[in-house]
Amino acid sequence: MYPKIEINLRKIKDNGEVLLKLCREKGIEPCAVTKGTCADLEVAKAFVQAGFKELADSRMENIKKLKGYFKDSIKTLLLRIPMVSECEEVVDYCDTSLNSELITIKKLNEVAGRVGKKHKIIIMVDLGDLREGIWPTDLESIQREVENLENIQVVGLGTNLTCYGGIIPSEKNLAQLCDLKRQWELRGGTPLQIISGGNSSSIKMLMEGKIPQGINHLRLGESLLLGRETINREHIPKTHLDTFKIVGEIVELKEKPSVPIGEIGQDAFGNVPTFEDRGIHKRAIVALGRQDIDLNMEPLNKEIEILGGSSDHLLLDVTKLPDLKVGDKVEFLPNYGALLQGMTSPYVQKEYIGKE
């Protein structure tokens, strides 16, 4: 059945081993982020086989699935700031959660007290990316509040970079996070075990030997899944780039003009398209559209060019491939957005290869 995602579990495990070795050589124990595959259990098992001891996700549904399968053999980390309404589930299923709101931390404390648990949290600090996190100058007042909560254990500080504001991890901003840890402890706070220095965007600094001493935790998703750091999307040496392949089937193959005929208005998604006049060319339509997947993909065959797509169809220029026929399959490498949507989509089949 097509379209499908071909998932190479052996290559995912290989990537995990490469990145674990790279991190551990620098004193960093990373977690594997599963949200890019909707916490697919086969992929999660490949991470665990590679040696990861902690799996992280942003959705409670996914955390529950992971905890239900692995039980207490792995630790779970909730990436998205918890909703007050889900605090009961957070305490039940998450070993640790990332937090930035005192009202939510107090609710977690209340719930943990009722069930006789101590919930671990990492306090997120905003170092300029302007997504989640408290402002550094507010950390002291937060510290005074959380130290009085009997059922909350603050185990670390963390930050998120590049995801919203595109702010690149640097020696300066990550050193600031380490300095905030020192200030916390100088004020008499409980020693912090974890300083979580971001996500796959910190891998470039790690490879260059520039990550500050004191950063001992990273949250790795795209680098594990697609073999790229996320600043310039450069290939991480010794990792695989083709861990996932999107495969679609050609349903139409015709020679047509390269520019539509008639007055151009908005397309189905409210955009006014523009076209390059290439004359008559050979066009293939693949049964794969925006309802299935984000169309930001790279054809494996470099002679193929993606022209665009609608909700149901992907249009390709295949002029340089005269032997193609209807029913042939075309393979693509997804970017992170395409992978995320494809793994979530009920219309895209999943096929596993390289399973141990």
Contact between residue 353 and residue 347 where contact means Cβ atoms under 8 Å apart = no
* Helix pair angle (41-50, 60-70), 10° resolution: 60
What is the CA 67 to chain-centroid distance, rounded?
19
The fold of the 9-226 domain, in CATH, is: TIM Barrel (3.20.20)
> Looking at residue 274, what is its pLDDT?
78
Contact between residue 16 and residue 32 where contact means Cβ atoms under 8 Å apart = yes
Nearest-angstrom CA–CA distance, 193 and 215: 10
State residue 173 phi and psi, 5-degree precision.
Answer: -75, -30
Nearest alpha-carbon partner for 319 in 261, 256, 268:
256
Nearest-angstrom CA–CA distance, 145 and 96: 19
Torsional sign, CA 157, 161, 167, 168: positive
Contact between residue 95 and residue 76 where contact means Cβ atoms under 8 Å apart = yes
CB atoms closer than 10 angstroms to residue 116: 7
Nearest-angstrom CA–CA distance, 243 and 11: 6
Torsion of CA 127, 133, 137, 142, to 10 degrees: -150
Distances (CA, A) of 17 to 30, 66, 97, 222, 229: 11, 20, 25, 15, 16
Nearest alpha-carbon partner for 111 in 103, 80, 193:
103
Which residue do the tokens 């139409």 mark? 252
Torsional sign, CA 208, 210, 213, 217: negative
Q: Judging by DSSP bridges, how do beta strands 75-78 and 314-317 pair with one another?
A: unpaired
Domains 9-226 and 244-353 share a fold: no
Distances (CA, A) of 248 to 6, 93, 177, 192, 218: 11, 37, 45, 49, 35
Tens of pLDDT along the chain (356 residues) come to 999 999 999 999 999 999 999 999 999 999 999 999 999 999 999 999 999 999 999 999 999 999 999 999 999 999 999 999 999 999 999 999 999 999 999 999 999 999 999 999 999 999 999 999 999 999 999 999 999 999 999 999 999 999 988 999 999 999 999 999 999 999 999 999 999 999 999 999 999 999 999 999 999 999 999 999 999 999 999 999 999 999 999 999 999 987 787 787 777 677 777 777 778 989 999 999 999 999 999 999 999 999 999 999 999 999 999 999 999 999 999 999 999 999 999 999 999 999 87
DSSP 32: E
> Looking at residue 263, what is its pLDDT?
80
* Helix pair angle (171-186, 139-146), 10° resolution: 40
> Looking at residue 268, what is its pLDDT?
67
Output the six-digit token pair for 201: 């965007």
Query: Domain coordinates of the chain in residue numbers?
Result: 9-226, 244-353
> Looking at residue 356, what is its pLDDT?
74
State residue 246 phi and psi, 5-degree precision.
Answer: -95, 130
Task: For residue 11, indicate whether it is catalytic.
Answer: no
- Could you say which of 2.30.40.10, 2.70.150.10, 3.40.50.1110, 2.40.37.10 is the CATH number of the domain covering 244-353? 2.40.37.10
State residue 102 phi and psi, 5-degree precision.
Answer: -60, -35
Q: Which amino acid is at 226?
A: L
Burial class (CB in 10 A: 0-12, 13-18, 19+), 99: buried
Output the six-digit token pair for 77: 């980390």
- Active-site hit among 4, 11, 13, 35: 35
Q: Judging by DSSP bridges, how do beta strands 305-309 and 314-317 pair with one another?
A: antiparallel
CB atoms closer than 10 angstroms to residue 186: 8
Nearest alpha-carbon partner for 3 in 353, 354, 341, 355:
341
